[in-house]
Amino acid sequence: MKSYSLGDIASRLNLRLIGDPDCLIRGLGTLASANTGDISFLSNLSYLGQLANTSASAVIVEESQADAVPTNVLVADQPYVAFAYVSQLFAEQPQGVAGVHASACVADTVSLGEGVCIGANVVIEEDVEIGANSSIGPGTVIGRGVRLGENCRLHAQVTVYHGVRIGSRVNIHSHAVIGADGFGFAFDGERSIKIQQLGAVLIGDDVDVGAGTTIDRGAIEDTVVEDGVKIDNQVQIGHNCHIGAHSVICGCTAIAGSAKIGRYCVLGGASGMVGHLTLADGVKISAMSLVNKSISEPGTYSSGTGQMKVADWKRAIVRFHQLDGLARRVKELERLIEEEGRAR
């Protein structure tokens, strides 16, 4: 089990320590669940009431909350970010042994960098290049001509289609599919004719792709995911999309083809975006919202209605259908008032 002194953690993360530098930290926990030996954090003031009774051995807080902590304190400008770095100290990532498993099928023309680990039942087709210290999990399939950078991890049963290019330090979880055909068909009046998807997928450095996520290849131009993008589980990204650097796409989001998303955007869970639209840098979309027109200014945007009791919702739906008639009546009343005013 990993453990660090509080002084060591403070030094590694350049945080100010108030308390015992020799206090041993063995794990992490929430304010409510942490025990002796755990470190916790406070970034959301709605949990402030839990601070006084926490059993954590240390808590990461902003300067303004330091006096309220009943135990050791690490002071951070951004406690949640500091907690993220602490979590990396305690991560237990299984380390594979460099080399190719006996059951793997690797083409003769594949180039493997130093320290690459190829797991059981992996299939790697011709002319693939894999950078140093990358790990390919069991059952993963990598198509012809793929380029994979250094220090990447593809978990078990990932599928990467031909011609895809992936940067360094990219983490792709199980059952993700990168580079399948985009959904493109032309209807001739009787049947749908497939449009061949001739582009590829380009993924930058430091990208995370969640389990079960699909990123389709471009029809003509490539689908692009820039550096630092974080994509949750079960996300669908259509062909020719362009996701700007450091954007975050939350679970079950669907982005239709040729959508352009700027840098530092956030799409909340189960949101949707119509194809051929553009989001400016810094746009945030609330969960379960539909983007049906382009957004040119940064900010937070929502659509749909929040939860309510079903009886209230039914009444609201009836009133929604009455809005057009009400608008016409208001317009007519305004006309009559205007005419009456002129008559005077």
The residues annotated with a catalytic role in the active site are: 239
- Check if the beta carbon of residue 149 is closer than 8 Å to that of residue 136: no
Q: Residue 248 and residue 228: Cα distance in Å, rounded? A: 9
**Amino acid letter at 329?**
R
SS (H, E, C) 210-267: CCCCEECCCCCCCEEECCCCEECCCCEECCCCEECCCCEECCCCEECCCCEECCCCEE
Angle, alpha carbons 152-156-157 (nearest 5°): 110
Q: Residue 43 and residue 47: Cα distance in Å, rounded? A: 8
Q: How many helices (H) and strands (E) does the chain have?
A: 3, 39
- Give the strands of the sheet with 248-249, arranged side by side: 99-100, 117-118, 135-136, 153-154, 171-172, 208-209, 230-231, 248-249, 266-267, 283-285, 299-301
Angle, alpha carbons 292-298-301 (nearest 5°): 45
Looking at the DSSP bridge assignments, the partners of residue 341 are none
Q: Residue 338 and residue 238: Cα distance in Å, rounded? A: 51
Q: Which token pair is 60? A: 């990461």
